[in-house]
């Protein structure tokens, strides 16, 4: 009964807040939606492209900030990435809905949203794999079923198995000594990755992202690093062993923030799986090499988690409103987490110039690099 009351209250609240669009968006419609939001909130948004897909489609990002296009000192950068797998589409639609919601609520002077936009630089990439999405959407139109149709990019590559493998280096360094953060890229990394992956890598190298979430489908759980297992125990056909990062406590907290703010993720039983608190260490679920969330953490210290948001990878259009109501509060609360903790600048002894520094913090098992 409590779940029914909760849904009723959310529906009642929905009638009092910004209308958002509950339909699937093909590429041209996605682009129109992003520019529509920008035109409605021109002073706090910016649309920009980080590159192109194999077939030449732009990878568009919508930015929210009180000074779009400008990095302000001590204002954290945060990002959402959707539709990395082209056939996992709920994240794509949720990020478009979030964009519409943030704009309208800012215009309505909702103080919670005003504080968030004015104090944070938010970057929303609704689709990392627009080519794969078009394949998946066309298959839906023709009523062609297939669990993997449209998953990969136009070259047939799984983009979440396409980032440079930095886990091998970190596991070696943990055993033999060596750096455990800001690991460098291999010299030939551009020859190893797809255009979409290269665009995202260049993007995260160009901005000091602090927090990130990658939106997927096919399960309902908040997944945190590491994704690649240090050990290789076998459970069925999956290699699995809990493989925590030095920041495991914080990663679990971030995952729980989303799970417990979500309409039902925290209950644990979803899609035939059970995850206590609705969260899991990636490697303890199944080992994944060359994934994006581990790469973010090891290369740039950006704390990224992976949000699996729906049992059905391509939910019916009628289900989008329920999914939005289930995820809206969680999407906002997760963004707000970027303001937890401490922040500051390191200057020289005369307090004149900013300097690069390596900072050791008690209770954190790796150093922090400023600069």
CA distance 195 to 155: 10
Distance CA 171, CA 185 (A): 16
Q: Which helix (H) or strand (E) holds 63?
A: strand 58-64
Helices of type H across 212-318:
248-261, 282-285, 292-300
Write the DSSP symbol of residue 132: H
The residue from 105, 308, 318, 349 that is catalytic is 308
Distance, in Å, from the CA atom of 336 to the CA atom of 119, rounded to the nearest integer, reads 10
Residue 223's beta-bridge partner residues? Answer: 280, 306
Name the H helices within 186-319: 195-206, 248-261, 282-285, 292-300
Could you tell me the CA-to-CA distances from 356 to 77, 365, 371 in Å, in that order?
19, 20, 4
The single residue listed with the structure tokens 């260490």 is 281
Q: 134: closest CA among 57, 195, 196, 60?
A: 57
Strands 209-216 and 77-82: parallel
Structure tokens at 78: 């945060």
278, two tokens: 């609705």
Q: Active site includes 308?
A: yes
The separation between CA 76 and the C-alpha centre of its own chain, rounded to angstroms, equals 15
Strands lying side by side in the sheet with 279-281? 45-52, 58-64, 121-125, 77-82, 209-216, 303-310, 219-224, 279-281
Q: Cis check for the bond before 226: say yes or no (omega within 30 of 0).
A: yes
Catalytic residue annotation = 308
């Amino acid at each position: 009964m409590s779940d029914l009351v909760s849904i009723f209250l959310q529906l009642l609240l929905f009638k009092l807040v910004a209308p958002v669009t509950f339909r699937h968006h093909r590429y041209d419609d996605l682009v129109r939606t992003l520019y529509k939001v920008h035109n409605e909130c021109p002073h706090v948004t910016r649309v920009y492209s980080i590159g192109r897909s194999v077939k030449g489609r732009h990878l568009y990002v919508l930015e929210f900030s009180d000074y779009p296009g400008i990095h302000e000192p001590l204002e954290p950068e945060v990002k959402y990435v959707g539709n990395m797998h082209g056939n996992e589409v709920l994240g794509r639609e949720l990020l478009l809905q979030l964009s519409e919601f943030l704009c309208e609520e800012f215009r309505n002077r909702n103080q919670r949203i005003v504080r968030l936009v004015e104090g944070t630089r938010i970057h929303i990439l609704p689709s990392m794999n627009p080519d794969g999405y078009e394949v998946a959407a066309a298959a839906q139109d023709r009523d062609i079923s297939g669990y993997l149709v449209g998953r990969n990019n136009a070259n047939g590559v799984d983009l979440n198995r396409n980032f440079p493998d930095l886990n091998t280096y970190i596991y070696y360094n943990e055993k033999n000594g060596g750096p455990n953060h800001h690991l460098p890229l291999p010299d030939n990394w551009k020859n190893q990755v797809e255009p979409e992956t290269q665009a995202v890598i260049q993007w995260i190298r160009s901005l000091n992202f602090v927090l990130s979430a990658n939106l997927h489908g096919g399960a309902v759980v908040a997944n945190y690093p590491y994704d690649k297992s240090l050990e290789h125990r076998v459970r069925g056909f999956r290699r699995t062993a809990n493989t925590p990062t030095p920041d495991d406590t914080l990663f679990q907290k971030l995952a729980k923030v989303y799970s417990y703010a979500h309409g039902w993720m925290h209950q644990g039983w979803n899609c035939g799986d059970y995850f206590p608190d609705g969260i899991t260490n990636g490697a303890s679920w199944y080992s994944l090499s060359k994934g994006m969330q581990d790469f973010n953490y090891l290369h740039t210290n950006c704390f990224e988690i992976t949000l699996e948001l729906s049992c059905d990878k391509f939910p019916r259009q009628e289900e989008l409103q329920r999914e939005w109501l289930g995820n809206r509060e969680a999407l906002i609360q997760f963004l707000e987490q970027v303001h937890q903790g401490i922040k500051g600048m390191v200057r020289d002894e005369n307090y004149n110039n900013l300097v690069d520094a390596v900072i050791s913090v008690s209770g954190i098992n790796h150093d922090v690099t400023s600069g």
